[in-house]
Amino acid sequence: MTEKADLTSFDVPAVLDRAAAGGRITPEEALVLYRDAPLHALGATADALRRRRYAGTEHIATYIIERNINYTNVCVTACKFCAFYAAPKDTKKGWSRDLDDILRRCAETVELGGTQIMFQGGHHPDYGVEYYEKHFSAIKKEFPQLVIHSLGASEVEHMARISKVSVEEAIQRINAAGLDSFAGAGAELLPARPRKAIAPLKESGERWLEIMETAHNLGVESTSTMLMGTGETNAERIEHLRMIRDVQDRTGGFRAFIPYTYQPENNHLKGRTQATIFEYIRMIAIARIFLDNVAHIQGSWLTTGKEAGQLTLHYGADDLGSVMLEENVVSSAGAKHRSNLREMIDMIRTADRVPAQRATTYEHLVVHDDPANDPVDDRVASHISSTAIEGGTAHPELKLLATN
Ligand code: SF4
């Protein structure tokens, strides 16, 4: 597929009507709609599809409370867009957390009502399957209630290579140790040209998908992601969606699709123009339309702002990600948007949706259908105010952020 898909050869309203009626659209049609369809028509179609998929609960938008645990920033992969990593030789910048530190962070997550942790870090040259087995089993032993939704195909490829085992064995072993599902990290851009330009040492997009397909076939589901705005073309964005849709047709293992935008600070990519909010909202809409086999589309407003996040709920998104108790990766690259739990609930409510806290598997845990009874949060807010927001000392590193 080229960038030159021709608007004149498509009847845009007819394609939108077919999509709104549940018909599948081709990648070529998706490219034309993404690039040229009137914004409101695109959004109306996406919103109609969301409403139909969630008939009966279409008034609800969800969020989750989780903690991102960055276990190390040491990484051999040196992605050009990354502001988080330290090369193994850089002993001044590099760090790793010990198990006690990680367990303390899990304890804080439980204390604040979090249900999920996202283990996220660099490709450390010494961390094979055994490292993850040890840490996941220790977390599950102390905190069986925490869901470990973490890592992705890139980490699996790396740990399997370090431990000299197959990716199947790596997945089975970390799953047995406590990993519940993969977060889909490392997808970045799946087509070869933009992927090589920003992450030349990562596995190919095809390999990323192959590993996720293997995980799905072994019963470990995942989410899927996309990094927008590092110089890829519109056709390459749509190709990324096509690659995900094809795997999803075979496995059904992607629970959600989460696009987010490149942040330009402190990394080695030069002269990139960030994706605009309009591009982002159009991506949310075309993802809802094109990925007819993926249930959840998440608006990741950490990198685009709260108003953009609210708009995504009217352009096909049904979820706004997480109130995240700690985040260091996209913040390192310049993401500045923050929110606490009350703000997350207000953000969803003022976007004309009823907020609901969800589980990792998207079941509603608490529906905040009466503002007078918002539980938010004497319990969580008091912890926030005594630690991060008012600069308390109990947990000096605790930051209440919201992200994907
Ligand atoms: S994005 Fe991940 S794999 Fe790439 S350099 Fe950063 S930490 Fe390493």
> Looking at the domain assignment, is residue 249 inside a domain?
yes
Integer angstrom CA distances of residue 379 from 105, 110, 114, 383 = 18, 12, 12, 7
State the pLDDT at residue 264. 73
Confidence of residue 323 (pLDDT cuts 50, 70, 90): confident
Confidence of residue 396 (pLDDT cuts 50, 70, 90): very low
Q: Determine phi and psi for 135, rounding to 5 degrees.
A: -75, -45
Let me know whether 317 and 260 are in one domain: yes
State the pLDDT at residue 185. 86
The answer to whether residues 171 and 156 touch, using CB atoms and an 8 Å cutoff, is yes
The alpha carbon of 272 and the centre of ligand 1 are apart by a number of angstroms equal to: 18
Q: Provide the phi-psi class of 122: left if phi over 0, else alpha when psi is between -120 and 50, else beta.
A: beta
State the pLDDT at residue 337. 55
Rounded-to-integer distance, Cα 21 and Cα 182, Å:
32
Rounded-to-integer distance, Cα 291 and Cα 294, Å:
6
> Looking at the domain assignment, is residue 166 inside a domain?
yes
Q: What is the mean pLDDT of residues 11-37?
A: 95
Rounded-to-integer distance, Cα 338 and Cα 402, Å:
6
Atom of ligand 1 nearest to the CA of 185: 2
What domain range is 22 assigned to? 7-51
Structure tokens at 340: 């606490």
Integer angstrom CA distances of residue 311 from 174, 259, 299, 356 = 38, 14, 9, 17
Question: 164 pairs with which residues across the strands?
Answer: none
Let me know whether 88 and 15 are in one domain: no
For the ranges 19-23, 130-134, 246-250, 358-362, which has the lowest average pLDDT? 19-23
The alpha carbon of 86 and the centre of ligand 1 are apart by a number of angstroms equal to: 9
Q: What is the mean pLDDT of residues 227-255?
A: 97
Let me know whether 39 and 181 are in one domain: no
Rounded-to-integer distance, Cα 103 and Cα 107, Å:
6
State the pLDDT at residue 99. 97
> Looking at the domain assignment, is residue 205 inside a domain?
yes
Share of residues in the chain with pLDDT > 70 (%): 86
Confidence of residue 361 (pLDDT cuts 50, 70, 90): very high
> Looking at the domain assignment, is residue 2 inside a domain?
no
> Looking at the domain assignment, is residue 1 inside a domain?
no
Let me know whether 126 and 69 are in one domain: yes
Average pLDDT, the chain: 88
Let me know whether 39 and 134 are in one domain: no
The alpha carbon of 123 and the centre of ligand 1 are apart by a number of angstroms equal to: 7
Let me know whether 29 and 80 are in one domain: no
Let me know whether 301 and 333 are in one domain: yes
Q: Is any ligand 1 atom within 6 A of the Cβ of residue 78?
A: yes
Integer angstrom CA distances of residue 98 from 69, 72, 104, 127, 138 = 12, 9, 10, 13, 12
Structure tokens at 77: 């992969």
Q: Strand 222-228 and strand 254-261: pairing?
A: parallel
Q: Provide the phi-psi class of 22: left if phi over 0, else alpha when psi is between -120 and 50, else beta.
A: left
Q: What is the mean pLDDT of residues 26-39?
A: 96
Read off the CATH number of the domain in which 330 is found: 3.20.20.70
Let me know whether 31 and 152 are in one domain: no
The answer to whether residues 5 and 31 touch, using CB atoms and an 8 Å cutoff, is yes
Q: Determine phi and psi for 202, rounding to 5 degrees.
A: -80, 160
Q: Is the pLDDT of residue 192 over 60?
A: yes
- List the residue whose alpha carbon is closest to atom 4 of ligand 1: 79
Let me know whether 11 and 114 are in one domain: no
Let me know whether 323 and 395 are in one domain: yes
- List the residue whose alpha carbon is closest to atom 7 of ligand 1: 122
Planar angle of CA 21, 23, 27, nearest 5 degrees: 135
Q: Is any ligand 1 atom within 6 A of the Cβ of residue 290?
A: no
**Structural domains in the chain (count):** 2
Q: Is any ligand 1 atom within 6 A of the Cβ of residue 152?
A: no
Q: Strand 222-228 and strand 319-324: pairing?
A: unpaired
Amino acid code (one letter) for 75 = C
Let me know whether 342 and 226 are in one domain: yes
Let me know whether 191 and 318 are in one domain: yes
